[in-house]
């Protein structure tokens, strides 16, 4: 081999000509040719269909192989945690519901449980209010998983599944609107109970949904589970074993798809989940296929929980009896469809001057929460959703911090993507089910 592997006297229009006298050709070329190991940086997002919101991925590619992946978050930062410090404890429900916008009722319930723990009224929450919370959360889990199934299928080319998934989600959102008045961002679960009772027509809608949904789930599986392209794009793709999940703090369906049956509803029960009959679906492959199977199975388990909750709905109050904490739980809408009815206002103002003053102070100032700090964790559709709430004894939170599963689970993206193909980044990232409203907060 000559001193220089490039023969300058042989420079041609075709490129550089090598002068070699033996040795392995691949070794010679890789050591000298800058084209051989050229890497390009691809900026995927933040506005990209496969990023489940405004997630930005910076990928370093060698051909179609991902050599390095970095997640860039923060594009949907709304300052919700900071805003909570300037609102009273009840108003906080209106803010936290907007974080993970696909599972608002979980945000609200975790927050309410934390405030109730600080107040020391956990055992005072009525049975009906607790049952309604379970009912609403499991309906929300179904709707959230339907969005995951719809969007992930769309990203892998199954457009029809996207249409079907959103079709069934609309049914759940109609139920939410009947109960809370809103399709999303409900502020329905509040410290002390829930904002108002479940009407009878909502019960009928839920019963109809329980009849409809098992048939639709079977249709989804017939559409996807045996489809060759779906299998190729999901099996052995974006593998994350249980050791990696534990090291990275990954929870929820991603952890359970790696074989560990860790579900806070079973392992650290809340809202009476220990009294319900349901299973924790798991899989062992730890790939996109396993996460698909786990989430579909979880929808079936949620339907079982919804049916049990409906059977347990006994008549009773939906808010604690302590009037120093309880907001009105039987609201009446005015004739214009907005605000409170005149009869409701007259009732508040006609009782006594003291009750009017109390109502005014409760709404404008809020109740005081004893100083202290608590942590409450619940099982959201994406994993452990934790609330660390700190009170200094005032009417507003000193600090509320959320342990958000989307934020934590995104740490796993480089481990899943690096060494694989760029096409599998889309499948792997989608299988984490990140919601950037919750991640960025």
Would the pLDDT of 34 be above 60?
A: no
CA pair distance 400, 386, nearest whole angstrom = 10
Would the pLDDT of 439 be above 90?
A: no
Confidence class for position 7, pLDDT limits 50, 70, 90: very low
pLDDT in tens, 237-296: 888 899 999 999 999 899 999 988 999 999 999 999 999 999 999 999 888 999 999 999
Q: Which residue has the tokens 């055992």?
A: 123
Characterise 252 by phi-psi region: left (phi > 0), alpha (psi -120 to 50), beta (else): left
pLDDT in tens, 283-340: 998 889 999 999 999 999 999 999 999 999 988 888 888 877 887 656 666 666 666 6
pLDDT in tens, 362-376: 888 888 889 999 999
Lookup: tokens for 338: 């907005």
Pairing of strands 40-44, 372-380: unpaired
Looking at 40-49, 170-179, 362-371, 381-390, which range is the least confident one? 40-49
The model's pTM is: 0.85
Average pLDDT of the segment spanning 142-169: 90
Q: Regarding the domain with residue range 80-325+367-440, which homologous superfamily does it belong to in the CATH classification?
A: Cytochrome-c3 Hydrogenase, chain B (1.10.645.10)
What per-residue confidence (pLDDT) applies to 6?
44
In percent, the amount of the chain with pLDDT more than 90 equals 39
Start-to-end Cα distance in the chain: 60
Contact 118, 153 (CB under 8 A): no
| 14 DSSP β-pair partners | none
Pairing of strands 399-403, 383-391: antiparallel
Question: Domain segments of the chain: what residues?
Answer: 1-38, 80-325+367-440
């Amino acid at each position: 081999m000559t001193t220089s592997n490039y023969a300058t006297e042989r420079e041609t229009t075709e490129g550089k000509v090598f002068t070699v006298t033996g040795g392995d050709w691949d070794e010679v070329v890789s050591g000298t040719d800058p084209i051989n190991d050229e890497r390009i940086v691809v900026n995927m997002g933040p506005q990209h269909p496969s990023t489940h919101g405004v997630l930005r991925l910076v990928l370093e590619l060698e051909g179609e192989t991902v050599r390095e992946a970095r997640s860039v978050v923060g594009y949907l930062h709304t300052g919700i945690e900071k805003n909570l410090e300037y609102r009273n404890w009840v108003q906080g429900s209106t803010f936290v519901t907007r974080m993970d916008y696909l599972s608002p009722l979980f945000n609200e319930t975790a927050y309410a449980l934390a405030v109730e723990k600080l107040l020391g009224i956990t055992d005072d929450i009525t049975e009906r209010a607790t049952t309604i919370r379970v009912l609403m959360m499991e309906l929300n889990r179904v709707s959230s998983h339907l969005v995951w199934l719809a969007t992930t299928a769309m990203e892998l080319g199954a457009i029809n599944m996207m249409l079907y998934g959103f079709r069934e989600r609309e049914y759940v959102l109609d139920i939410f609107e009947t109960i809370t008045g809103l399709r999303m961002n409900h502020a329905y679960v509040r410290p002390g109970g829930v904002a108002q009772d479940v009407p009878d027509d909502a019960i009928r809608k839920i019963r109809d949904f329980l009849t409809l949904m098992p048939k639709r789930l079977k249709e989804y599986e017939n559409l996807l589970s045996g489809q060759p392209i779906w299998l190729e794009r999901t099996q052995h793709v974006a593998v994350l074993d249980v050791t990696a999940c534990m090291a990275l703090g990954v929870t929820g369906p991603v952890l359970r798809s790696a074989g560990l049956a860790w579900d806070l509803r079973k392992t650290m029960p809340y809202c009476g989940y220990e009294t319900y009959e349901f299973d924790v679906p798991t899989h062992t492959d730890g790939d996109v296929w396993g996460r698909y199977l786990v989430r579909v199975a979880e929808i079936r388990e949620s339907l079982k929980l919804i049916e049990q909750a409906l059977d347990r709905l006994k008549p009773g109050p939906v808010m604690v009896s302590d009037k120093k904490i309880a907001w009105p739980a039987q609201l009446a809408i005015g004739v214009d469809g907005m605000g409170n009815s005149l009869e409701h206002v007259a009732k508040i103002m006609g009782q006594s001057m003291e009750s009017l003053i109390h109502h005014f102070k409760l709404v404008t100032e809020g109740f005081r929460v004893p100083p202290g700090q608590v942590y409450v964790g619940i099982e959201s559709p994406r994993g452990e959703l934790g609330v660390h709430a700190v009170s200094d004894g005032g009417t507003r939170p000193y600090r509320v911090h959320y342990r958000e599963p989307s934020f934590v689970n995104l740490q796993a993206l480089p481990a899943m993507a690096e060494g694989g193909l760029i096409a599998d980044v889309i499948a792997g990232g989608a299988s984490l089910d990140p919601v950037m409203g919750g991640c960025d907060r």
